[in-house]
Amino acid sequence: MMVAHGVNLTKQRRIIADVLFERNQHVTADQLFDLVKQTGSRVSKATVYNTLGLFARKGLVREIFIDASRTFYDSNNSHHHHFYNVDTGDLIDIKDRLAAHFIEQDLPEGTSMDVVDLVVRVRNIKS
C-alpha cells in the first residue's frame, strides 16, 4: 500500500503506519507519537512529523485544519467531511453528501449548528 504510493518502507514508517492505519482516526502528530510510544516501539518525534508530512504529500492521509493551534491527520483518506464540536473537541465523520439540509438532519445528539466552513482547495494547472 505504501510502496504503491511511492513511499520507501522503513522500519519507523512501518511502525507509524501500523498504529495510524489500525483504525479510522483523527490524530495530531503529538498524539500519534504517544500512541507509538505506548506500543513499546521507539520513534523520534521528528520522524513522526516527517512521516505524517510525507504521507500527506503522498495522499495516504488527509490534513484537517479546524483550529490554528494544531493539525489533525485523518487516517481515513476517503472523501468525507466532519462535524467538529467546539465545546468538546470531538471530530466526527460526515459521509460525503453535501446538501446543507442533509447535514442539519445528521447533527450529533445534543448539538446545534454553528458555522459551516467549506474550503475548496485548487491548484494551478501545470503548463
Partner DNA sequence: GCTGTTGCTTAGAATAGTTCTAAAAATAAT
Partner DNA sequence: ATTATTTTTAGAACTATTCTAAGCAACAGC
Q: Which residues in this chain contact DNA in the complex, by CB under 7 A?
A: 8, 10-13, 28-30, 42-47, 49-51, 53, 68-71
Q: Name residue 8's amino acid.
A: N
Long-range contacts (CB closer than 8 Å, 24 or more residues apart) made by 94-102: none
The reply on whether position 34 binds Zn ion by CB under 5 A is no
The one segment of 1-9, 18-26, 42-50, 107-115 that binds a copy of itself by CB under 8 A: 107-115
CA angle in degrees (0–180, nearest 5) for 90-91-96: 150
Among 33, 72, 74, 84, binds Zn ion (CB under 5 A): 74
State the Cα–Cα distance between residues 57 and 55, nearest whole angstrom: 5
Encoded one letter per residue, x for contact with Mn ion by CB under 5 A and - for no contact, window 80-109 reads -------------x----------------
Q: Which is nearer to a copy of itself, 9 or 107 (CB)?
A: 107
Chain centroid, CA 108 distance in Å: 20
What number of other Cβ atoms are within 10 A of residue 49's Cβ?
15
Should residue 88 be labelled a site residue for a copy of itself when binding is judged by CB under 8 A? yes
